[in-house]
Structures are given as C-alpha cells and as structure tokens.
C-alpha cells in the first residue's frame, strides 16, 4: 500500500535578484557594518542612505529627492530596497521604472501622478464603541408575523456576553441576528458588535473550550479583558491612490447599464485632477481634526534617464506639493542627452535645475573581497552548495566582467555539478559554464573582431 505525503499547495516565494536584502545593515551610531542584512561593502552609500531613513522617520524629508548614481551592478536597487526595509511595512514603497510612463492608454503625467499617490499613506484612527465578549446565551424572541400568515418572525434577539470583568445581556435588532447566523456564531464564541453600525465580527472560539476536541481548524482566543461595553481604537492604513480609485468608480445601482459595467472589466481610466483636489481637501480636513495622519512613503524610479523633458518638468511641480512622497531616483548613465530634447547634454540625463534640488548618493564598483561575500550570500539564498575556492574564481570572473554575470553563473554551474554527480560546485563546472556563455564584454569583443560576418 503506497502512502504519500500531501505537499502544501501554497506557492513558494520565488527568489528574486534582491531577496537577500533585509535592511541597510547599520549599527546604532549609523556606521555601516561591513557585512550585514544582506549588504556587503558600499559603506559610504549605506551610511548616506541611513541619514535619509532618519530624515524620513523624522518627517523632515517630504518633497525632497535622492539620486543613486553609479555604474551597472553596483547595488543601486539593493540600496533603495534596503531603505524600504528599514522604514518598515507601514511606510508605503512604490517601485517603478522610467519606461513605465509610456503607456498607450493613459498620459505620462498620469502614470507619474498615480505612482506618486501610491507612495503616500494615510493612517486613519477611529474610535468605535463596541460590545465584546464570549457568547453565554443567544435566544431569538419570536412574534406573530405582522403581515399575517402562519410563519413567525424574530422580533429581537437576546445575547449574553461575558468578559473577565463582568457580563451583560443585550437586546439586539433582528438584522443583527442575521449577521450572527452568517458569521456562524455559537455559544462559547468570542465576538464583537459595533454599536454604531451593528456589524458583527467573530474573533474565534473562547480558549476555555480548547480541551473539548483537538481540532486544528478552530482558532482559540482568550476571553476579552475589561468591560463588555468599551471604546476601541481602530487604525487603518490606506494610500491616497486607494482613495482615488474608490471614489473614481461609480458604485452602480440596479439598472442594467451599471450591472453590465460591473461585469465588463473597465479600461484603465484617468482619475481627474478635480477628483484628486476634492480628496486632498477631505484628507487635509481629517489631518487638521487629528483623525488621520500622513505617512509620506517612498517612490523609487529606476532608470530615470528614460523619462523625457516633459516628465522632468512635471516632477518638478509634483515635488513641491504639500502631499509629496520621498522620491528616490536611480541611474547608471553618465553625461547623455536628455530624452525629448535634440541636443541638451546633462549629467545622468536629467535637467540641471532638477539635479540642483537632489541629494546624490554615489555607488562604487565592488572590490574582489566584496564580490566573494556577495556571491556567497547569493549561493546561500538560492540554496546552492559551493566550494570556497570556487567563490574566489567566480569573484575573479566578476572582476573581469561584471558581478551580475558572475552571480548568473551560479545556477547553470549547480545544474552541471548535479549532472556530473557532485554535491557541490567545483572549479571545472564554473570554467565549463564560463566557456559555454558569453558576458557582454566578450560578446562585444567578438563582434568587433568578426564585424564583416554580421548584418549592419
């Protein structure tokens, strides 16, 4: 009889290029630890990014921008992601690429504005009156049907709720009884009922019943503390883009057109400037009343040289807005022509007036010692066993070519090692892979030598 274990169907997290980056890896004084949080070397850049993180946390950075500039493969995207990790989950982080703005459906400026709004969070605090406790009794009280007939209707429902401090008996509306049935509430469950809306939420089974039967499906929660009737602070995190989208789509009635509209997926539509201004008014009102607080997040624009002069002009205006996130640009270009102009040459392909209001962080090419450590971290992240002397060889290859190319050789080498019946990658597999594949520099050299064999 064959017995197989059922594997979980939940998707395993795909290993991306920067999965290993867990933060900036700085100590308490803000100085970079040589190898920490998945980052290696690049001390000056990491310390500068640490200062940026402190500024963002102190809310003194809004409306400013940062540029990460350096050759390809020097860890610009890794630095931006590390900044996001250090800020925590609650701070919105919206990554985009410069070429994303060229959409056939919506305007360039609209794409930029949408991403700007995605990177601004709003933390709304609400104080709600709730009745919370373990259900000790639930008795529906029936009366004769007012419309005649033989059936009876529920006129009200009596519920007993118990907490550590005391008990209370409540007389509730029949509509709440329907909510209780939908949530499948039974005696012994811990629930809370919102006093204003009458919404019912089942939190789980009371842990006093945990010994009844050993079922993993049931979630046990402790008996609530305090009184049954209490005021509870509920915190919600939304982005301004969420608010825009929620208000842009008509909610639709019962007529046939709105029903059809819900079935057919709408095209990507522009959110009008008028709507955004109205939302900003409401948001500012909430902030003034102290109901909400603004959480400026991070908008990361990679390959910023792909934006054209119109986008840069728009960015200029957007950065000065009172509701602006922290913008981090990244580019690997030196002096080049600004896109959208005929002959205006500028550093990093960005206009000088915009560069003037940007703090620039430089990333430098990695040394061989740093490359060894990075390749080691990547091999560990991807679960590839490798001999120590192979790390040296790969780092030397990375020094001659690029770090990206050296890291890309890891997986093909591990496949070759498996074919050869080895547990770990050896030098032979790396050398064989290096012969099988070309890096950009070797390919360019070959093209130069055999120019006449290729089409112009």
In DSSP terms, which residues pair with 221 in a beta bridge?
A: 206
Residue 69: band (very low, low, confident or very high) from pLDDT cuts 50, 70, 90: very high
Residue environment code for 410-449, b if the CB has 16+ CB neighbours within 10 A, otherwise e: bbbbbebbeeeeeeebbeebbebbbeeeebeeeeeeeeee
Intervals of CATH 2.40.50.360 along the chain: 125-236
Neighbours of 392 (CB within 10 A): 15
Q: Which stretch of 172-186, 244-258, 325-339 has the lowest confidence by average pLDDT?
A: 244-258
% of the chain beyond a pLDDT of 70: 88
Select from 3.30.450.40, 3.40.50.1100, 1.10.10.10, 1.10.8.60 the CATH code of 368-451.
1.10.8.60
Intervals of CATH 1.10.8.60 along the chain: 368-451
**Using CA atoms, how far apart are residues 109 and 18, in angstroms rounded to an integer?**
29
Long-range CB pairs of 338-345 (<8 Å, 24+ gap) are 338/308, 338/309, 338/312, 339/305, 339/306, 339/307, 339/308, 339/309, 340/308, 340/309, 340/310, 341/309, 344/309
| Predicted pLDDT at 263 | 57
% of the chain beyond a pLDDT of 90: 3
Please provide the average confidence, as pLDDT, over all residues in the chain.
82
**60 has a pLDDT exceeding 80:** no
| Predicted pLDDT at 330 | 92
Residues whose CB is less than 8 angstroms from the CB of residue 233 and which lie 6 or more positions away in sequence, other chains included: 125, 126, 127, 128
| Predicted pLDDT at 269 | 58
Arithmetic mean of pLDDT, 403-430: 88
CATH architecture of 125-236: Beta Barrel (2.40)
Quote the distance between the C-alpha of residue 66 and its chain's center. 20
**14 has a pLDDT exceeding 60:** no
Intervals of CATH 3.40.50.300 along the chain: 35-119+297-362
Residue 322: band (very low, low, confident or very high) from pLDDT cuts 50, 70, 90: confident
Secondary element (H or E) of residue 120: strand 120-144
| Predicted pLDDT at 182 | 82
Tell the CATH superfamily of the 35-119+297-362 domain: P-loop containing nucleotide triphosphate hydrolases (3.40.50.300)
- Which range of 185-194, 232-241, 282-291 scores highest in mean pLDDT? It is 282-291
State the Rg of the chain over Cα.
Answer: 30
| Predicted pLDDT at 331 | 92
């Amino acid at each position: 009889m064959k017995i197989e274990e059922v594997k979980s169907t939940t998707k395993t997290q795909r290993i991306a290029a920067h999965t290993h980056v867990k933060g900036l890896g700085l100590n308490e004084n803000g100085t970079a630890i040589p190898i920490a949080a998945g980052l290696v070397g690049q001390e000056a850049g990491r310390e500068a990014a640490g200062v940026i993180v402190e500024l963002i946390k102190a809310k003194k950075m809004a409306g400013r921008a940062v540029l990460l500039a350096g050759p390809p493969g020097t860890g610009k995207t890794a630095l931006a992601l590390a900044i996001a990790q250090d800020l925590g989950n609650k701070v919105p982080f919206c990554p985009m690429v410069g070429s994303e703005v060229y959409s056939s459906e919506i305007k360039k400026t609209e794409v930029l504005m949408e991403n700007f709004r995605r990177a601004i969070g709003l933390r709304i605090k609400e104080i709600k009156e709730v009745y919370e406790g373990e259900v000790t009794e639930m008795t529906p009280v029936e009366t004769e049907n007012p419309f005649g007939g033989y059936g009876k209707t529920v006129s009200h429902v009596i519920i007993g709720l118990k907490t550590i401090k005391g008990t209370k008996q409540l007389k509730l509306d029949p509509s709440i009884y329907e909510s209780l049935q939908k949530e499948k509430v039974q005696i012994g469950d811990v629930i809370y009922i919102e006093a204003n809306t009458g919404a019912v939420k089942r939190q789980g089974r009371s842990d006093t019943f945990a010994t009844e039967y050993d079922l993993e499906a049931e979630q046990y929660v402790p008996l609530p503390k305090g009184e049954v009737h209490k005021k509870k602070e509920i915190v919600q995190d939304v982005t301004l883009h969420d608010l825009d989208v929620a208000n842009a789509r008509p909610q639709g009635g019962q007529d046939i057109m709105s029903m059809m509209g819900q079935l057919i997926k709408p095209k990507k539509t522009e959110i009008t400037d008028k709507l955004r201004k109205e939302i900003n008014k409401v948001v500012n009102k909430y902030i003034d009343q102290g109901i909400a607080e603004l959480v400026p997040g991070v908008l990361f624009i990679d390959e910023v040289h792909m934006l054209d002069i119109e986008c840069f002009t728009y960015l200029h205006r957007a950065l000065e807005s009172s509701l602006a996130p922290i913008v981090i640009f990244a580019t690997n270009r030196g002096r080049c022509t600004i896109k959208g102009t005929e002959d205006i040459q500028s550093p990093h392909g960005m206009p000088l007036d915009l560069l003037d209001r940007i703090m620039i962080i430089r990333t430098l090419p990695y040394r061989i010692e740093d490359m060894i450590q990075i390749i080691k971290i990547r091999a560990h992240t991807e679960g590839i066993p490798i001999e120590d002397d192979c790390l040296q060889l790969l780092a030397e290859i990375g020094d001659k070519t690029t770090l990206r190319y050296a890291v890309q050789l890891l997986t093909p080498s591990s496949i070759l090692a498996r074919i050869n019946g080895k547990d770990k990658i050896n030098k032979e597999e790396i050398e064989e892979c290096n012969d099988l594949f070309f890096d950009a520099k070797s390919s360019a050299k070959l093209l130069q030598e055999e120019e006449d064999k290729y089409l112009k």
